């Protein structure tokens, strides 16, 4: 009963105070919005990065070329072995004849190529298994398995992983660096925003110094003094989160087409709506955390002894 | 009730506010602490409600050593000690009623208790008709009465008044001092720090004189302002 009564009074005090120092309170909310917007940009960049990586990954595979003497049964055995590996996403078999048909179809308009093939008289292409893995860093495992398996050494002509490896590793490293860089920047932005929000809240608390002093002298506990400011900090966080979500929604709606032109297939607006609750939860947690942390740190200097 | 046992307060190597203070105040006494500005009166009073802690010595209130008191126990101590300041320390955006009720809210009293007690206390200090006024609508003497009402509302054992009449004219000064006397007659121990010799001489009560941080004189009865 005591705690209910006290909490009601403290919450009332917090809400009343929101209507005083309006401009100062708005400044605090703006700082929180800037920090949260940085977080939401970071989330979007992360999503775009993952999408780009996936698209890139879809285009990359390991091609295993087989000698002319390789029987189809052996090739299909290897296909089955590879499909049973957890790292492997898909294995597509292209026979010699199929390879030739695909080649002719791809170069249908080029007469000299068609003529060259006819003059050769035989199919110069090879049967191939095209292997895609779950992630970029798993190609090495597949490459090692194929090359280390004695059953198939006699029929494999070439595994072209090595040519792709450098590209795969470069892209993977670059993407990892970009994501780490974005995360570091976001962390820095949030830390700076906490400092600025803290200073803004401290300014507001300065206007309460007489009240805080009186509360201490008439026997208010430290928690009784802190709570209204902590509640206010949480309210700033909630308002900041709502404002950021609205701003991000409007921005995603207006920029979605442009973003899709740069990253084909990635629809920013759909991504935002599809992940609205997750993004909202993350922003709310960070926003309320920032508001409460800033208030908590700011009030401490007024609570000596 | 209050015992100062070899209490000293040193702010820096060369700056000692109080040296070897020893005195005892019995329950129900009215004591004036007098001295020139900077003598250490305010520091001594602040130690009673633990706003300052001594560098050496012990302070006992109702037999309890408050020099060792933990920070989270201070609020409980302060609810038994009413404090009145020269600058009133009222909240400008709260009414007379709300300023006094504030002191009860922080200790979790119910709205019903507040509705009952606050008007009674305001009647005692003579402000029963002004419950809805704001501090800027009151005279200096009335503001100090509100401050005294706030100090009284917890029914404290001790009232500490640090130069409560410093900003008041002679008429209001005497009204406040009479109010404090009346409170003392009801059994509350009153400690008044002042450099107003006329009040002290008229009160004819115990006077402790502080000079350069030391007790120069302790006149247990019918004391006079002597520096």
**What domains appear along chain A, each with residue ranges and CATH number?**
2-56+171-300 (no CATH), 68-154 (3.30.70.3040)
State whether residue B69 sits within 8 Å of chain A by CB.
no
- Is A6 an interface residue toward B (CB < 8 Å)? yes
Q: How many CB atoms lie within 10 A of CB B211?
A: 15
For chain A, which ranges sit under pLDDT 50? 305
Chain A: closest CA distance from residue B106 (Å): 5
Measure B221 CA to nearest chain A CA, in Å: 31
Tell whether B114 is within 8 A of chain A (Cβ): no
The answer to whether residue A2 neighbours chain B at the CB level (below 8 Å) is: yes
Whether residues B71 and A222 touch (CB distance < 8 A) is answered with: yes
* Max Cα-Cα span within chain A: 105
Output DSSP code: residue A122.
S
The shortest C-alpha distance from B201 to chain A (Å) reads 30
Query: Which among A9, A213, A218 is the nearest to B150, CB-wise?
Result: A218
Find the CB nearest A211 among B53, B76, B91.
B91
Q: What DSSP line would sit under A3-50, residue for residue?
A: HHHHHHHHHHHHHHHHHSSHHHHHHHHHHHHHHHHHHHHHHHHHHHHH
- Residues A155-164 have pLDDT tens digits of 888 888 666 6
pLDDT tens digit sequence for B40-90: 889 999 999 998 899 999 999 998 999 988 888 888 899 899 999 998 899
In the prediction, which pLDDT does B61 show?
93
Among the partner residues B50, B51, B106, nearest to A215 by beta-carbon distance: B106
Global ipTM: 0.83
**What is the distance between the alpha carbons of residues A215 and B104, in angstroms, rounded to a whole number?**
10
A 19-78: CB under 8 A from B: 20
Query: Residues of B with CB below 8 A from A305's CB?
Result: 50-51, 53, 71, 74
A220 in B contact zone (CB under 8 Å) = yes
Asked if B88 contacts B33 with a C-beta cutoff of 8 angstroms, the reply is no
Q: Where are the domains of chain B?
A: 96-154
User: Which tokens go with A189?
Assistant: 């932005």
Using DSSP's 3-state secondary structure scheme, residue B30 falls into: strand
B78 vs A2, A217, A224: nearest CB? A217
The C-alpha of B77 sits at a distance from chain A's nearest C-alpha, in angstroms, of 7
CA distance B90 to chain A (A): 8
Question: How many beta carbons lie within 10 A of that of residue A242, not counting itself?
Answer: 17
Across the interface, whether the CB atoms of B91 and A224 are under 8 A apart is answered: no
Q: Is the dihedral of CA B95, B98, B100, B103 positive or negative?
A: negative
Under-70 pLDDT residues of chain B: 13-16, 227
CA distance A63 to A91: 10
Across the interface, of A5, A217, A305, the residue whose CB is closest to B110 is A5
Minimum-distance CB partner of A214 among B50, B89, B110: B89
Beta bridge partners of B194: B34
| Residue A198, min C-alpha distance to chain B (Å) | 25
DSSP string, B79-120: TTEEEEETT----TTS-HHHHHHHHHHTTT--HHHHHHHHHH
pLDDT for A288: 93
Distance CA B86, CA B158 (A): 17
User: Nearest-CA residue of chain A relative to B107?
Assistant: A220
| Separation between Cα atoms, residue A247 and residue A209, nearest integer Å | 35
Instruction: Tell me the residue ranges of DSSP E strands in chain A.
Output: 62-66, 88-94, 128-133, 156-159
Q: Are residues A305 and B79, on separate chains, in Cβ contact within 8 Å?
A: no
In chain B, residues 35-54 whose CB comes closer than 8 Å to chain A: 49-51, 53
> What is the structure's pLDDT at A2?
57
- Among partner residues A214, A215, A219, which is closest to B76 by beta-carbon distance? A219
Q: Residue A305 has what pLDDT?
A: 47
């Amino acid at each position: 009963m005591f705690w209910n009564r006290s909490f009601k009074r403290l919450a009332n005090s917090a809400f009343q105070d929101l209507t005083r120092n309006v401009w100062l309170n708005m400044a605090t909310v703006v700082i929180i919005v800037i920090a949260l917007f940085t977080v939401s940009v970071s989330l979007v960049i992360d999503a775009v990065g993952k999408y780009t990586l996936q698209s890139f990954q879809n285009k990359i595979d390991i091609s295993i070329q087989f000698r002319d003497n390789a029987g189809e049964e052996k090739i299909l055995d290897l296909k089955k072995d590879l499909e049973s590996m957890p790292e492997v996403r898909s294995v597509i078999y292209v026979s010699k004849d199929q390879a030739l048909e695909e080649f002719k179809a791809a170069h249908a308009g080029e007469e000299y190529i068609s003529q060259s093939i006819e003059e050769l008289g035989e199919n110069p292409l090879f049967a191939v298994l095209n292997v895609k893995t779950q992630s970029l860093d798993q190609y090495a495992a597949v490459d090692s398995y194929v090359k280390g398996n004695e059953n198939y050494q006699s029929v494999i002509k070439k595994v072209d992983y090595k040519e792709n490896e450098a590209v795969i590793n470069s892209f993977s490293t670059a993407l990892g660096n970009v994501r780490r860089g974005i995360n570091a920047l976001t962390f820095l932005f949030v830390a700076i925003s906490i400092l600025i929000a803290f200073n803004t809240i401290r300014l507001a608390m300065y206007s309460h110094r007489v009240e805080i002093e009186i509360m201490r002298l008439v026997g208010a506990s430290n928690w009784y003094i802190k709570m209204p400011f902590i509640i206010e900090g949480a309210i700033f966080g909630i308002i900041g989160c709502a404002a950021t979500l609205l701003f991000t929604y409007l921005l995603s709606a207006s920029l979605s087409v442009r973003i899709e032109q740069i990253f084909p297939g990635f629809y920013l607006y759909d991504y935002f709506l599809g992940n609205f609750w997750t993004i909202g939860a993350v922003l709310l947690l960070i926003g309320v955390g920032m508001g409460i942390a800033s208030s908590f740190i700011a009030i401490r200097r007024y609570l000596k002894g | 009730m209050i015992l100062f046992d070899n209490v000293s307060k040193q702010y820096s190597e060369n700056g000692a506010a109080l040296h070897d203070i020893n005195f005892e105040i019995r329950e129900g006494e009215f004591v004036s602490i007098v001295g020139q500005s900077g003598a250490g009166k305010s520091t001594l009073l602040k130690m009673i409600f633990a706003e300052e802690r001594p560098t050496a010595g012990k302070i006992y209130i109702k037999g309890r050593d408050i020099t060792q008191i933990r920070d989270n126990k201070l609020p409980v101590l302060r609810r038994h000690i009413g404090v009145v300041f020269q600058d009133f320390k009222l909240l400008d955006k709260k009414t007379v009623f709300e300023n006094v009720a504030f002191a009860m809210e922080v200790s979790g009293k119910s709205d019903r208790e507040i509705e009952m007690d606050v008007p009674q206390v305001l009647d005692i200090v003579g402000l029963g008709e002004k419950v809805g006024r704001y501090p800027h609508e009151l005279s200096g003497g009335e503001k100090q009465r509100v401050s005294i009402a706030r100090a009284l509302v917890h029914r404290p054992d001790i009232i500490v008044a640090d130069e409560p009449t410093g900003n008041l004219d002679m008429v209001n000064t005497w009204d406040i001092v009479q109010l404090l006397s009346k409170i003392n007659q009801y059994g509350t121990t009153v400690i008044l720090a002042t450099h107003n010799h006329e009040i002290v001489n008229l009160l004819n009560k115990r006077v402790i004189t502080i000079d350069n941080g030391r007790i120069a004189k302790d006149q247990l009865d019918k004391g006079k302002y002597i520096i």
